[in-house]
A and B are shown apart, each in its own frame.
Chain A
Amino acid sequence: MTDLIIKGAALFGEKTSDIVVRDGVIVEVVSTSSTTGRGSTTGTGSRVVDAAGLVALPGLVDLHTHLREPGREDAETILTGSRAAALGGYTAVLAMANTSPVTDTAEAAERVFDLGRTAGLVDVQPVGAVTSGLGGVELAELGLMARSRAKVRIFSDDGKCIHDARVMRRALEYVRAFGGVISQHAQDPDLAGSTACCHEGELSGRLGLPGWPGVAEEVIVARDVMLARHTGSKVHIAHVSTAGSVEMIRWAKAQGIEVTCEVTPHHLLLTTDLLGGYDPVYKVNPPLRPDEDVAALRDALADGTIDAVATDHAPHARHDKEHAFVDAAFGMLGLETALSVVSEVMVTSGAMTWTDVARVMSQTPARIAQLDGHGGSLLVGQPANITLIDPAAVVVVDRDRSVSLSRNNPWHERKLTGAVSATFLRGAQTVADGELV
């Protein structure tokens, strides 16, 4: 007996088909016209989801999420973050290591992994710290994390740049033993003062805000692709934000260097001029950049130079954002709105197809993270991790309707076209009609 039939969805926005799911696995995919009136595989107890007018994609995978647990459960927990992820169409997220305590041991990684499985809404895959306590000096127990039940493959000191070239080199070399990848937060701290809080440019000059220039990111990207070439290891550049970084990565890929990178939804749409009112909701690291960088990032995402869209979902308790701008916390929410932003910016504009969206928001991220069962192609035999999208839905973001514990939502009151309608994790529906099940 089948568990579920998703009827009439446009697979990757193209062929309209029915997807038949049994025991969490796709068992049949047939074009809608051929199943009409037939009941060969349709048992009487099957649940039918009407997906007419919706686009079906493999469940989304986020390479870059901050779930705040353990340590800041007032801002987000693995459960609330999982809810936000499911609502955003995700079936797997990678949880960054900068929690308190830091995810720098096998035990810490397994705890995050287990809490994710207990929540059961998305697969929460821990990212391990590269250096002990994110200190940037001694390597964390990378091998033990990789051997643990959590099978950590991505390592990152995100929030901090691995600044010491020697440490970066050793980390790249070391993780080759188990096929790990180092995700770098590319930002030279010497080119940004300790109080830097925005893009350095004309606006920061006028506002009197200490900024950091695009070159602070670009010099580290340049260094790390050369280190990746030297070591033959894989490096991943997190949240690329400048045209210069994109150029560097495009060059490196052409050389055959194993570099991948991601861009956040906010760097695809929001620009530095939003800082004019000193609203800390727009304070993020890397900072919002000018129009020309945004344009370069969109082009690079469309042409494949940028491999993935990752949210850098960074919830913060209200009081951590109610400081003076330079003192307020960095980061913004992203899980619930990412698909809508990509739809608005890349699909509605015609720059990308839904097949491309599947590539950058599901398949490539799953490949980079080496997540089995995610980022499939909606083929028979694959786990039924599926996201249904209403491409015509127009949503006005309301931060108070968010299921995140935090409200640092830069998308509040913004109108976006395209929205997640339903999410299935191994056949179990987590979201229906845009609401948690």
Chain B
Amino acid sequence: MNKNLLSIEDVSADDIAAFFATATEMHDVQNRSVKKLPALRGRTVVNLFFEDSTRTRSSFEIAGKWLSADVINVSAKGSSVSKGESLRDTVLTVAAMGVDGLVIRHMASGAAKQVSEWTDAVVINAGDGTHEHPTQALLDAYTLQRRLGSLEGRHVVIVGDLTHSRVFRSNVLCLAKLGAEVTVVAPPTLMPSGIVAWSKDAGFATSYDFDDVLPKADAVMMLRVQRERMNGAYFPSAREYTVGYGLTRDRLAVLKPDAPICHPGPMNRGLEIAADAADAAQSAVLDQVSAGVAIRMSVLYHLLAGEGGQA
């Protein structure tokens, strides 16, 4: 297993299995009266967040605390450029306090990778720009696996703003490693450049037509679409987006009744997902949140408990 968790590309199928096995045990801890394990006693984990994300930060914070780590949240909002301090200086300053693990969220793609080259601490990518969000992909796949059993040969459909989605980028990699068939759906303007060549290489399919792939889906993953994207001429209106790419009530009726519906949150109800779909029995949205803590406990444990985690 790699020292850091920067990208799903660095994680093997065996690693994923180990993360999931431990997460299953950690899931049970959430139901105990004493939600505490001593595994990371004496370890210090800093959540270094350059971008607001209450849910991801809280999830990592709870995960660290339940493992008895000392967890400190450092909010470094805004780019380092505007503060006149380089990213490297910011990171070295935090790391110099004696940090074992650095959970980093940054609005720039590649930031976690760069940070890992400047510090000996274990670096966990909690979302870097529009690049990756590996713990989200792990918790998504873990949630699907708990619902569906093995994902081998199962068809997962990911719909939404692919261009600006780190969740999509981590998920196609992760689901491919677990043997799932993935189709990503978006209007052409919200597909990353070069995705046709990339998808052939990485073994996933692309489509502009949600209705065509919907009946074959064993699971759907709806991505958040920012309403402001209209200003960049990515699509004409929220209404048109919903009609083409939203998980509407009508589409819910077409979806297999046991196909889980995932959404990384926060949801734009009425835009990419109808309330009926978000609250349906087959919705896995809240499962994803509880799985998030278990997966992050597992990741923190695997990367920081053993000798490999020594800073």
Contact = CB atoms under 8 A, between A and B. Distances in A.
Interface stretch (A106-114, A205-213, A253-261, A297-305): A205-213
B43 interface: no
A326 B81 CA distance: 10
A207 B195 contact: no
B166 A208 contact: yes
Contacts of A207: 109-110, 131
B306 interface: no
Interface size grouping (class) on chain B:
20 to 34
B106 interface: yes
Given A208-B109, A278-B113, A324-B114, A319 B194 contact: no
Interface stretch (B22-30, B86-94, B251-259, B291-299): B86-94
Interface in A273-292: 277-280
A322 B86 contact: yes
B2 to A, nearest CB: 15
Contact of B109 (A279, A320, A325): A325
B108 A205 contact: no
A323 B194 contact: no
A193 B80 CA distance: 20
B87 A327 contact: yes
B132 interface: yes
Nearest to A325: B110
Contacts of A327: 79-81, 87, 108
A200 B193 contact: yes
B264 to A, nearest CB: 15
A278 B130 contact: no
B187 interface: no
A153 to B, nearest CB: 35
A277 B86 contact: no
Contacts of B107: 324
Nearest to A321: B86
A326 B108 CA distance: 6
A372 interface: no
Residue of A193, A210, A211, A326 contacting most chain B CB atoms (<10 Å): A326
Interface in B115-135: 128-132
A213 B193 CA distance: 9
B198 A319 contact: no
Interface in B186-210: 192-195, 197-198
Interface residues of A, number: 26
A112 to B, nearest CB: 27
Nearest to B198: A202
A202 B169 CA distance: 13
B192 A206 contact: yes
A190 B193 CA distance: 17
A139 interface: no
Interface in B80-112: 80-81, 86-89, 106-111
Residue of B79, B88, B89, B114 contacting most chain A CB atoms (<10 Å): B114
Contact of A324 (B111, B132, B195, B232): B111
Contacts of B87: 322-324, 327
A204 interface: yes
A159 interface: no
A201 B193 contact: yes
B79 A202 contact: no
Contacts of A208: 109-110, 128-132, 166, 169, 192
Contact of A204 (B106, B128, B193): B193
A327 B163 CA distance: 19
B113 A277 contact: yes
Given A207-B109, A323-B88, 11 more contacts: A208-B166, A209-B109, A210-B130, A211-B193, A213-B193, A277-B113, A324-B87, A324-B107, A324-B109, A326-B108, A326-B109
30 contacts: A193-B232, A202-B194, A202-B195, A202-B197, A204-B192, A204-B193, A204-B194, A206-B192, A206-B198, A208-B110, A208-B132, A209-B109, A209-B110, A209-B129, A209-B130, A209-B131, A277-B113, A278-B114, A319-B86, A323-B79, A323-B86, A324-B80, A324-B87, A324-B107, A324-B114, A325-B111, A326-B109, A326-B129, A327-B79, A327-B80
Interface of A: 193, 200-211, 213, 277-280, 319-320, 322-327
